[in-house]
Amino acid sequence: MSRLIIFCLIFVTGILLSSGLLAGLAPQSRGAAEDSLAIVVNRANPVENLSFSELRKIFLGEQAHWSNGRRITVVMLEPGKMERQVVLTQIYKMGEKDFTNHFLHGLFTGEIHAAPRTLGSSAEVLKFVLNVPGAIGYLKAPEVDESVKVVRVESRLPSEKDYTIRLHGKPAK
Amino acid sequence: MKYSIVAEFGELRICKAHGRTSGRLVLALFLAMISSPVVQAQQTEASPVSKKEAEETLLQRIVQLEARLKEVEAALAKTQPATASAAPATPAAPNEQKPAPQAEPAEQESMDLNRTLLRIRGFSDVNLGGSTLRGDPRSTTAFSLGQVNLFVTSDVSDKFKFLSEVVFEAGPDNVFGVDVERMLLTYSFNDYFNVSVGRYHTAIGFYNTAYHHSTWFQTTTGRPFLFAFEDQGGILPIHNVGASVTGKIPSGRLGLHYLAEVGNGRAYKTGEPVQNEVDESSHKAVNFGMFARPESIPGLQAGFSVYRDLLTPAAGPKIGETIAAVHAVYSGLNFEWLNEALLIRHAPEGTAQVFNTPGFYTQVSKRFGAYRPYFRYQYVNVAANEPLFSSVGLRHGPSAGLRYDMSEFVALKLQYDYTALRGDRAFHTVTLQTGFTF
């Protein structure tokens, strides 16, 4: 009898794993989440999903306001951090020098309202995004907690297979 | 309280029903009753004297604390009045509270004294150059100081932003002067509607609003002649004082933008071409433009603008001025191709004459690491009998140069210009420039 119960449990668990109902526990998903960079906003922000094009415009300063009219504040980790390098490569598609030049020029022409806010650690990013309603930043997916909201990029969360912003991935198109 | 008693008796009944009225149960019931608030209350009620004493003690303590609080408040008011008044105006003060979903704070437009800071960035250049143009005081080989540009910005509030360019510049008389070249207060309602007031660079074409007074941003050593500043012989109303509205147009991947400006326009009666304080006439100059930045080709911008003013020269009739401009530029990280064309139309009132001045330039450059070779060809043709700029005449020719970015913020440029003139010999110019930001 006990063998039958154990067999049934294993069988049901297998079905749940294969159907994605326990995706959060699946080894592949956990690995995918650990390798992902989550885009986070303040919990009060109504945005749920951004296309990659919208995300790039926001980080470049070409879109300065959220749909609710609140000003966007982009948060960047300081130079040298791996997450920053990933964002420069995959979202900005430029190096440190061109990043600096882009914002210097944008501020000079008046087209960019504010340069990104630079912070030193993921904890500071969490705290800043928690306290600034218009903030948007990035964190390694495992570092995200409930104080912020993770935004879907191209309708995908960091734990999902086709999520585009990876720590060790190729630049998104 | 009733609930606890009922629960305890209930437990007792259940135990009896099971026939287990053991000593352990009695002990548990006894302990539970001792620890219950009912018992505590009964105990307190049983000794009214001690309760009264406790109340008196507490009242005394409250009186002492109130007195102490008043002392502290008085001391704070004396020592830190500024801090005390500024404290309520800090809506985004960081806190260490545990994470929790927040309610959306109400939209407010108040000046945050802790955040409103001036940010200053400088731009400048030092040049060594000379030309073969006869009769020009700048033709001798000379070291020359370029403009010292202090670019000042400030976030007045979430919606208001201040921006200015204060430029120190020496003229042909070697005397330094100071100009507030730009001074703008901008209200950003959203991405589709921004209003600015102050002194601005007229949005005619592309170059005038892309590079302003910094040579470091420019690939070349200077502006195309078509976009030369008024005090350097330029023919366009580069600066204006007034108001402007700019923003995006909902257009999807086409990326359309609009701009509309109204200002004093350019003066022709006085020595100062920019009408900062008074206007020669009540007529206002207007400018309207649109441009597209298609998503499919990042770096591409194409658009047009139309500027209209009524000029009042010192002599002769008023002149209607219309400036039509088109541009198509590609400005990528490594490759740049700028193309602009203008037509300046001057129509003196009371006559049938119309004077058209065409002009254009094309500029191409490619980056190879820290090096960026470039080429530019420019053309301006002012009629000999043009009422305002006849001295400019026809001038055209190529420029070639090399920009070398010595560091992230310092660029060295070497440029050669060949300029052909109508009715005069062509001249050559060589310039070595160090442009930098600080």
Per-residue pLDDT at B73: 64
Q: Is pLDDT at A17 greater than 50 in this prediction? A: no
Q: Which residues of B touch A127 (CB under 8 A)?
A: 94
Residues 64-83 of A with CB under 8 A from B: 64-65, 68-71
Banded pLDDT at A45 (limits 50, 70, 90): very high
**Closest listed residue to residue A151, CA positions, set A70, A66, A42:** A42
Angstrom CA distances, B343 to A137, B201, B287, B381, stand at 46, 18, 14, 10
Per-residue pLDDT at A69: 86
* A98 with B333: Cβ contact below 8 A: yes
Per-residue pLDDT at B74: 61
**Closest listed residue to residue B200, CA positions, set B162, B171, B170, B233:** B162
Q: Which residues of A touch B163 (CB under 8 A)?
A: 110
Quote the minimal CA–CA distance from B419 to chain A in Å: 30
* B408 with A43: Cβ contact below 8 A: no
Q: Give chain B's contact residues with A (Cβ, < 8 Å).
A: 92-95, 99-105, 107, 121, 151, 153, 155, 158-159, 161, 163, 184, 186, 188-191, 196, 209-210, 212, 214, 217, 295, 333, 408, 437
- Token pair, residue B102, equals 């927040």
* A44 with B209: Cβ contact below 8 A: no
Per-residue pLDDT at B77: 54
Per-residue pLDDT at B6: 37
How far, in Å, CA of B257 to CA of B327, rounded?
14
Nearest to B99 among A105, A108, A130 (CB): A130
How far, in Å, CA of B403 to CA of B10, rounded?
93
Its ipTM equals 0.75
A161 and B CB contact within 8 Å: no
* B189 with A69: Cβ contact below 8 A: yes
Per-residue pLDDT at B32: 44
Per-residue pLDDT at A11: 55
How far, in Å, CA of B162 to CA of B198, rounded?
10
**Closest listed residue to residue B237, CA positions, set B257, B258, B261, B259:** B261
Q: Which residues of A touch B121 (CB under 8 A)?
A: 104, 108
Nearest to B209 among A109, A127, A145 (CB): A109
For residue A100, what is the DSSP state?
H
Query: pLDDT tens digits for chain B (438 residues)?
Result: 334 433 443 443 433 444 444 445 444 444 444 444 433 434 434 444 466 666 777 777 776 777 677 666 666 555 444 333 333 333 333 344 444 444 444 444 555 566 668 899 999 999 999 999 887 777 789 999 999 999 999 988 888 999 999 999 998 889 999 999 999 999 999 999 999 999 999 999 999 999 989 999 999 999 999 999 998 889 999 999 999 999 999 999 999 999 999 999 998 887 788 898 888 889 999 999 999 999 999 999 999 999 999 999 988 899 999 999 999 999 999 999 999 999 999 999 999 999 999 999 999 999 999 999 999 999 999 999 999 998 899 999 999 999 999 999 999 999 999 999 988 889 999 999 999 999
Mutate one of A73, A75, A98, A108 to test the B interface: name it (highest B CB count within 10 A).
A108
A147 and B CB contact within 8 Å: yes
Banded pLDDT at A18 (limits 50, 70, 90): very low
- Kindly state the average pLDDT of the residues A5-9: 60
Q: Which residues of B touch A146 (CB under 8 A)?
A: 99
How far, in Å, CA of A142 to CA of A154, rounded?
20
Model pTM greater than 0.90?
no
Give the amino acid at B151: F
Quote the minimal CA–CA distance from B209 to chain A in Å: 6
Look at the block and give the residue holding tokens 């990280």.
Answer: B333
Backbone angles phi, psi at B315, to 5 degrees: -125, 145
Per-residue pLDDT at A5: 67
Nearest to A44 among B103, B189, B210 (CB): B103
Nearest to A133 among B105, B188, B333 (CB): B105
Asked if residue B225 lies in contact with residue B418, where contact means CB atoms within 8 angstroms, the answer is no
Q: Is pLDDT at A172 greater than 60 in this prediction? A: no
